[in-house]
Amino acid sequence: MSARSEKTSTLRMVIPQRQGGVNPDYVFGSELLERIAPPDPEAETVRIHVDTAFDNDLNKVDGIDGGDILRRQMRETRDILQEKAPDKVIVFGGDCSVTGWKFDPKKPCLVR
């Protein structure tokens, strides 16, 4: 089988994270991006659970608004990437931190 004909796996990750930007509009933006992107019947889509209790205050952890929530969401993201080990990832995200990581899905952790 040639390298061109090898099948690759693609994972579509919906991460409507808004805590890092302290902006609830990021949730809508993530959902909108997912809807307007061309569907791919061969790609699996996963959604990261994001707290949408917009009226709740965000705890400041290590100087980061919502740091505890952000860490939980990033751990969930990391765990899914490790489990699925996709060749490609498409992120439909909220705040900028959802795409701020380079990662190697074949290794046991995200790398900076």
pLDDT tens for each residue of 14-57: 887 766 666 777 777 778 888 888 888 999 999 888 877 777 77
Tell me the Ramachandran region of residue 79: left when phi exceeds 0, alpha when psi lies from -120 to 50, beta otherwise: alpha
**Structural domain for 58, as ranges:** 3-111
Q: Is the pTM of this model over 0.85?
A: no
Task: Count the domains in the chain.
Answer: 1
Pairwise CA distance, residues 70 & 112, whole Å = 16
